[in-house]
């Protein structure tokens, strides 16, 4: 019995904001952003688009793929995805920018909109590692029950809504988007030469770094008070240098630990899909690990950091571009707020 990925999807808002667009309104430049982060542009949602809207689109694309649909017609896609949604037992959505803080979960909003009548649904708060955590959690829930067969895992973010657009230290880094994957319990072997699917995960945390990346206001630690006037909305605060140092170590340690536990080398891996926060983080980790650049899939230049969505967006791009072959070994590696980190090994 294996847990295989049988459909992927993504959704990014149509509005593309280049580095030059940002440089026209704050003190930054295309040269600084590219040289410090590898980012060239980001896609930004309009004011009416929320986390669940992007999650819904990505999910429909993944579900339509499960139903065998591959065309452009939106109505046909919606019919195909609605059919596949009936077979989903669990929905797990990773996000730091839910539609509503606290409750309801954004996963429940998606569950209703896709018509997944019999699915349980919940959000995972694991920052940018949300998809890595979600995949392992969903696989565990499928493995533990005979009745459950399929799960939908989503990473979705509208980071533009919690970004301080006057803070050049953070606003140049983030973008909006969603990615989704459908996993299924199949009869393929999970061990031996012909093994398939999710074969190993690491999910780790270091809460001592919880203040390096956080929303300081609005929760039970610092609730808003009646009559209070806010200078700005809820915005993410980040200690860039601390997160950078943590991230390089997290990527290096996770890739090394997964390879050691599995008894493999970089030669066995077709693709490493890292969380796309900063191309320099990936380069620094890659050099320490002595793994060739071409093993790492990067699309940060186009989408910037979409937090929990970067890994499933990248997975969908590789899948739809035909860059994944049956039997390929893929490694995901994520890190983010919490602090959290981890990775998955999947055989396609
Ligand atoms: N444009 C121009 N100059 C800038 C900008 C900008 N957008 N941002 C900062 N600077 C300036 C600073 O003011 C500073 O100037 P000074 O020397 O005159 O004081 C100078 O550039 C250097 O600033 P640093 O903060 O030291 O720049 P650094 O090289 O460390 O890069 C960065 C900053 C890109 C934020 C880096 O620390 C980083 O990537 N950290 C990790 C961030 C991250 O990955 N966050 C998310 C992870 S989890 C998640 O995905 C939600």
> Measured in angstroms, how far is the CA atom of residue 221 from the centroid of ligand 1?
28
The string of pLDDT tens digits covering residues 176-221 is: 999 999 999 999 988 888 899 999 999 999 999 999 999 998 899 9
What's the confidence (pLDDT) of residue 343?
Answer: 98
Q: Cα 312 vs. chain centroid, distance in angstroms?
A: 5
Q: Please, which pLDDT band fits residue 234 given cuts at 50, 70 and 90?
A: confident
Specify the DSSP element, H or E, that contains 198. Answer: strand 197-205
Examine the pLDDT at 73 and tell me if it is beyond 90: yes
- Summarised one tens digit per residue, pLDDT across range 9-45 is 999 999 999 999 999 999 999 999 999 999 999 999 9
Q: 168 CA to middle of ligand 1, Å?
A: 8
CA–CA dist 135, 244 (Å, integer): 25
CATH architecture of 2-186: 3-Layer(aba) Sandwich (3.40)
**Does the domain spanning 197-347 belong to CATH 3.40.47.10?**
yes
Looking at residue 193, its pLDDT comes to 83
Rounded Cα–Cα distance for residues 348 and 345 (Å): 10
What is the model's pLDDT at position 178?
98
Decide: 279 in ligand 1 pocket, CB within 6 A. Answer: no
Helix (H, G, I), strand (E, B) or coil at 218: coil
**Helices 240-262 & 279-289 angle (0-180, nearest 10):** 40
Range(s) of the chain covered by CATH 3.40.47.10: 2-186, 197-347
CA dihedral in degrees (156, 162, 167, 170; nearest 10)?
-20
Quick check: pTM over 0.85? yes
pLDDT-wise least confident of 86-95, 224-233, 295-304 = 224-233
Using pLDDT thresholds of 50, 70 and 90, give the confidence band for residue 231: confident
56-73: average pLDDT: 96
Asked whether 9 and 63 are in contact (CB, 8 A), the reply is: yes
Which pLDDT score, from 0 to 100, does residue 111 have? 98
Q: Which residue has the tokens 């199949």?
A: 186
Average pLDDT for 289-301: 96
Q: How confident is the model at residue 230 (pLDDT cuts 50, 70, 90)?
A: confident
Q: Is 217 in the pocket of ligand 1 (CB under 6 A)?
A: no
pLDDT recorded at residue 190: 85
Written as six digits, the tokens of 33 are 């952003």
Q: Does ligand 1 come within 6 angstroms of the Cβ of 320? A: no
Backbone dihedral angles phi then psi of residue 90, each to the nearest 5 degrees: -140, 140
Tokens of 331: 């490694």
* Span 277-292, average pLDDT: 96
CA of 169 to the centre of ligand 1 (A): 5
- Identify the pLDDT of residue 75: 96
CB-ligand 1 contact for 213 (6 Å cutoff): yes
Which two tokens mark 260? 């050691």
Q: Quick check: 19 and 173 in contact, CB under 8 A?
A: no
Q: Does 168 sit in the ligand 1 pocket, CB within 6 Å?
A: yes
Residue 183 confidence (pLDDT): 98
Is any atom of ligand 1 closer than 6 Å to the C-beta of 244?
yes
Residues assigned a catalytic role: 128, 275, 305
Residue among 26, 28, 126, 244 whose CB has most ligand 1 atoms within 8 A, to mutate: 244
Report the length, in residues, of the chain: 348
What is the pLDDT at residue 266?
Answer: 96
Q: What DSSP letter does each residue of 265-290 carry, written as one string?
A: -GGG-SEEEE--S-HHHHHHHHHHHT
- The residue contributing the CA closest to ligand 1 atom 49 is 336
To test the pocket of ligand 1, the residue of 278, 308, 309 to mutate (highest count of ligand atoms within 8 Å of its CB) is: 278
* H or E segment and range at residue 176: strand 176-186
Mutation test residue for ligand 1: of 169, 249, 305, the one with most atoms within 8 Å of CB:
169
The pLDDT tens digits of the residues spanning 248-270 come to 999 999 999 999 999 999 999 99
Number of Cβ atoms within 10 Å of the Cβ of 202: 19
Read off the pLDDT of residues 142-188 as tens digits, 9 standing for 90 and up. 999 999 999 999 999 999 999 999 999 999 999 999 999 999 999 99
> Residue 337 CA: which ligand 1 atom is closest?
48
């Amino acid at each position: 019995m294996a847990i295989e990925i049988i459909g992927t999807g993504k959704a990014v808002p149509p509005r593309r904001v280049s580095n030059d667009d940002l440089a026209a309104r704050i003190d930054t430049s295309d040269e600084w952003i590219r040289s410090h982060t590898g980012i060239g542009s980001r896609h930004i949602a309009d004011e009416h688009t929320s986390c669940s809207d992007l999650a819904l689109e990505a999910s429909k694309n993944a579900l339509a793929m499960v139903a065998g649909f591959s065309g452009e017609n939106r109505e046909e896609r919606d019919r195909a995805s609605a059919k596949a949604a009936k077979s989903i037992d669990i929905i797990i959505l990773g996000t730091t920018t839910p539609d509503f803080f606290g409750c309801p979960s954004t996963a429940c909003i998606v569950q209703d909109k896709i018509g997944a009548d019999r699915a349980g649904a919940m959000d995972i708060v694991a920052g940018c590692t949300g998809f890595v955590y979600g995949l392992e959690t969903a696989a565990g829930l499928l493995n533990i029950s005979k009745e459950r067969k399929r799960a939908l895992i989503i990473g979705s973010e509208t980071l533009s809504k919690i970004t301080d657009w006057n803070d050049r230290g953070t606003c140049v880094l983030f973008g909006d988007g969603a990615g989704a994957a459908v996993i299924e319990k199949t009869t393929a072997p999970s061990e031996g030469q012909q093994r398939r699917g999710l074969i190993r995960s690491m999910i780790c945390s270091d809460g001592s770094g919880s203040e390096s990346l956080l929303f300081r206001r609005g929760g039970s630690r610092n609730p808003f008070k009646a009559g209070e006037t806010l200078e700005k909305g809820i915005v993410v605060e980040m200690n860039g240098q601390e997160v950078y140092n943590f991230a390089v170590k997290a990527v290096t340690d996770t890739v090394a630990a997964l390879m050691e536990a599995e008894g493999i080398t970089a030669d066995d891996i077709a693709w490493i899909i890292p969380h796309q926060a900063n191309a320099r983080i990936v380069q620094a980790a890659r050099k320490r690990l002595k793994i060739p650049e071409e093993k790492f899939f990067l699309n940060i230049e186009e989408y910037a950091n979409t937090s929990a969505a970067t890994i499933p967006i990248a997975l969908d791009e590789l899948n739809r571009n035909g860059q994944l072959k049956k039997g390929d070994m893929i490694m995901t590696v994520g890190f983010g707020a919490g602090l959290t980190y981890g990775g998955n090994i999947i055989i396609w």
